[in-house]
Amino acid sequence: MQVRAKAAKEVGASLETYGFEVESPKEYQCLIKVEYCGICHSDLHVIDDDWGIAKYPAIAGHEVIGIVEEVGGQVNHLKVGDRVGVGWQKSSCLQCSECLNGNENLCDRNQALIVPGPGGFANYLLTDSRFAFPIPEGIDPKVAGPLLCGGITVYSGLTSAGMSSGQEIGIIGIGGLGHMAVQFAKKLGNRVTVFTTSPDKAEFAHKLGADNAIVVPRGKAPPQPTQLLNIILSTVPASLDWSAYLEYLDSDGTLCFVGVTDAPLNLPLWPLLTKRRRVMASIIGGRAAMMDMLSVASRFKIEPVVEVFPLEQVNEAIEKVRSNQVRYRAVLAMN
Ligand SMILES: NC(=O)c1ccc[n+]([C@@H]2O[C@H](COP(=O)([O-])OP(=O)(O)OC[C@H]3O[C@@H](n4cnc5c(N)ncnc54)[C@H](OP(=O)(O)O)[C@@H]3O)[C@@H](O)[C@H]2O)c1
Ligand SMILES: [Zn+2]
Ligand SMILES: [Zn+2]
- pLDDT tens digits along 24-47: 999 999 999 999 999 999 999 999
CA 195 to ligand 3 center in whole angstroms: 21
| Cα Rg, the chain, nearest whole Å | 19
pLDDT of residue 210: 98
CA 335 to ligand 2 center in whole angstroms: 36
Three-state SS at 162: coil
Q: Indicate whether residue 71 lines ligand 1 (CB < 6 A).
A: no
Going by their DSSP bridges, the two strands 249-257 and 278-281 should be labelled as parallel
Q: Indicate whether residue 38 lines ligand 1 (CB < 6 A).
A: no
Fold of 2-149+285-333: Quinone Oxidoreductase; Chain A, domain 1 (3.90.180)
Supply the DSSP string of 62-85, one letter for each residue: --EEEEEEEE-TT--S--TT-EEE
pLDDT of residue 325: 97
113-161 per-position pLDDT tens digit: 999 999 999 999 999 999 999 999 999 999 999 999 999 999 999 999 9
Q: Indicate whether residue 5 lines ligand 1 (CB < 6 A).
A: no
Beta strand residue intervals within 177-305, DSSP E: 191-196, 212-215, 229-234, 249-257, 278-281
| Cis peptide upstream of residue 328 (ω within 30 degrees of 0) | yes
User: Does pLDDT of 335 surpass 90?
Assistant: no
Reported pTM: 0.98
Rounded percentage of the chain residues whose pLDDT exceeds 70: 100
Fold of 162-281: Rossmann fold (3.40.50)
Residue nearest (by alpha carbon) to ligand 1 atom 27 = 236
Q: What's the CA gap between 76 and 156, in Å, rounded?
A: 27
**Averaged pLDDT score across all residues of the chain:** 97
pLDDT (average), residues 199-203 = 97
pLDDT of residue 173: 98
Q: Indicate whether residue 305 lines ligand 1 (CB < 6 A).
A: no
60-104 per-position pLDDT tens digit: 999 999 999 999 999 999 999 999 999 999 999 999 999 999 999
**Which one of the ligands is nearest to 196 CA?**
1
Q: Is the dihedral of CA 324, 325, 330, 335 positive or negative?
A: negative
CA 113 to ligand 3 center in whole angstroms: 10
Q: Where are the domains of the chain?
A: 2-149+285-333, 162-281
* Burial class of residue 249, CB neighbours in 10 A (0-12, 13-18, 19+): buried
CA 287 to ligand 2 center in whole angstroms: 12
Q: Indicate whether residue 190 lines ligand 1 (CB < 6 A).
A: no
232-273 per-position pLDDT tens digit: 999 999 999 999 999 999 999 999 999 999 899 989 999 999
Q: Indicate whether residue 236 lines ligand 1 (CB < 6 A).
A: yes
Beta strand residue intervals within the chain, DSSP E: 2-8, 15-21, 29-39, 64-71, 83-86, 89-91, 111-112, 124-128, 133-134, 168-172, 191-196, 212-215, 229-234, 249-257, 278-281, 306-310, 329-333
Q: Indicate whether residue 321 lines ligand 1 (CB < 6 A).
A: yes
Residue nearest (by alpha carbon) to ligand 1 atom 35 = 236
| Cis peptide upstream of residue 146 (ω within 30 degrees of 0) | no
Q: What's the CA gap between 280 and 186, in Å, rounded?
A: 21
